[in-house]
């Protein structure tokens, strides 16, 4: 198997040349450049460790992936998707940034932003439910990050409170792009005003990650948040992330996802028949938003622009200011 290392970031090292002059050398970072600390998370193919850059003392989360296990389980494609999408989503405060990748004989290493607040799911479980102010705050940041990834031609396909991490300021950082779909730069219409801006328009494009091959038509994502179109047409689109976003808003306010059953099959049955209910006391404005997101036909779901203008988000100032805002006290 081939582990591609294109486009990896490098560190700069000051060295003396043979004449005693200071020169800059560009050196690829490696395992030896970090001190590894405690385990932050564990997945089936990876472990995330806290780590510190020995030179800068900057803290990171390093995802360590076991090559043999990944090859044996035929997940090579997914680790490459994760790296390629993260490289494409380089610069947004709401998305975990990939700084370096390197490897040794046993493992692949992804050096990521550390999110010391842990998973949104953990915070929600400790609180039980969020009030409307907290749901609006976290919801707005998730939506802003989703808008950015869609504008860069990436569909996440597995949005859920476990994949929404929080940094030390309780700002959102979306992670886990291993099942994302990368869209082609859409064909540019001759008369488009966005003519030379890649990914600037709303065209869906085509998958370029090989995910339209037969194997990739198998289920990706998590049962409770999977969209009906993925179950019926085996096809995910940008609006599939907005279905998951609707499930997340519902969950933040009620403490549980809208579609939940004893097993995956029954969960899927509930999803495709839109079989869910709002608990008593669910805020009416949020109920209206969720009802316009949990719509079976993806073409009839609210668009991101409509969601931003929905009454539920009244008072939110969209844009970079979202990321300077102080988090509301959890209640």
Residue 114 or 159: which CB sits closer to ligand ADE? Answer: 114
d(C-alpha 174, C-alpha 33), whole Å: 26
Strands 34-42 and 22-27, bridge-based pairing: unpaired
DSSP structure string for 122-143: HHHHHHSS--HHHHHHHHHHHH
Asked whether position 175 contacts ligand ADE by CB under 6 A, the answer is yes
Asked whether position 226 contacts ligand ADE by CB under 6 A, the answer is no
CA end-to-end span of the chain, whole Å? 50
Asked whether position 40 contacts ligand ADE by CB under 6 A, the answer is yes
Query: Which of 4, 19, 118, 20 lies closest to 61 in space, CA to CA?
Result: 118
Q: How far is the CB of 295 from ligand ADE (least distance, A)?
A: 32
d(C-alpha 265, C-alpha 93), whole Å: 36
Residue from 49, 61, 166, 304 touching ligand ADE (CB under 6 A): that is 61
Q: Using CB under 6 A, count the residues that bind ligand ADE.
A: 11
Asked whether position 62 contacts ligand ADE by CB under 6 A, the answer is no
Note whether 174 and 159 are within 8 A (CB).
Answer: yes
Asked whether position 165 contacts ligand ADE by CB under 6 A, the answer is yes
Residue from 11, 41, 122, 328 touching ligand ADE (CB under 6 A): that is 41
Which residues, numbered 84-103, are part of the site for ligand ADE (CB under 6 A)? 96
Residue from 33, 34, 45, 48 touching ligand ADE (CB under 6 A): that is 48
d(C-alpha 145, C-alpha 93), whole Å: 8
Q: Which stretch binds ligand ADE (CB under 6 A): 31-39, 113-121, 251-259, 281-289?
A: 113-121
Asked whether position 164 contacts ligand ADE by CB under 6 A, the answer is no
Asked whether position 255 contacts ligand ADE by CB under 6 A, the answer is no
Q: How far is the CB of 173 from ligand ADE (least distance, A)?
A: 7
Catalytic residues, which ones? 158
- For residue 87, what are its two tokens? 């490289």
d(C-alpha 96, C-alpha 114), whole Å: 8
Q: How far is the CB of 113 from ligand ADE (least distance, A)?
A: 6
Torsion angles phi and psi, residue 43, rounded to 5: -115, -175
Q: Which residues bind ligand ADE (CB under 6 A)?
A: 40-41, 48, 61, 96, 112-115, 165, 175
């Amino acid at each position: 198997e081939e582990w591609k290392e294109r486009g990896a970031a490098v560190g700069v090292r000051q060295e003396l040349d043979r004449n005693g002059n200071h020169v800059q050398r560009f050196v690829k970072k490696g395992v030896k450049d970090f001190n590894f600390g405690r385990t932050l998370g564990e997945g089936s193919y990876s472990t995330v460790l806290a780590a510190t850059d020995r030179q800068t003392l900057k803290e990171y989360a390093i995802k360590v992936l076991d090559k043999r296990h990944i090859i044996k389980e035929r997940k090579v494609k997914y680790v490459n998707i994760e790296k390629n999408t993260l490289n494409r989503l380089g610069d947004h405060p709401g998305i975990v940034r990939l700084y370096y990748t390197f490897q040794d004989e046993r493992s692949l290493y992804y050096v990521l932003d550390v999110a010391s607040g842990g998973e949104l799911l953990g915070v929600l479980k400790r609180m039980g439910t969020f009030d409307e102010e907290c749901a609006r705050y976290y919801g707005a940041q998730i939506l802003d990050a989703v808008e950015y990834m869609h504008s860069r031609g990436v569909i996440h396909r597995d949005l859920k409170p476990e994949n929404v991490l929080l940094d030390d300021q309780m700002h959102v950082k979306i992670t886990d792009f291993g099942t994302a779909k990368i869209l082609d730069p859409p064909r540019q219409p001759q008369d488009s005003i966005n003519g030379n801006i890649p990914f600037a328009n709303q065209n869906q494009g085509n998958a370029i990650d090989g995910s339209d091959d037969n194997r990739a038509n198998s289920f990706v994502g998590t049962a409770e948040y999977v969209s009906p179109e993925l179950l019926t047409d085996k096809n995910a689109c940008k609006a599939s992330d907005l279905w998951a976003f609707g499930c997340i808003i519902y969950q933040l306010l009620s403490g549980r996802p809208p579609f939940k059953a004893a097993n995956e099959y029954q969960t899927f049955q509930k999803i495709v028949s839109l079989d869910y209910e709002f608990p008593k006391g669910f805020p009416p404005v949020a109920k209206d938003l969720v009802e316009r997101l949990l719509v079976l036909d993806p073409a009839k779901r609210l668009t991101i622009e409509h969601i931003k203008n929905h009454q539920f988000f009244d008072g939110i100032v969209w844009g970079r200011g979202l990321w300077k805002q102080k988090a509301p006290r959890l209640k």
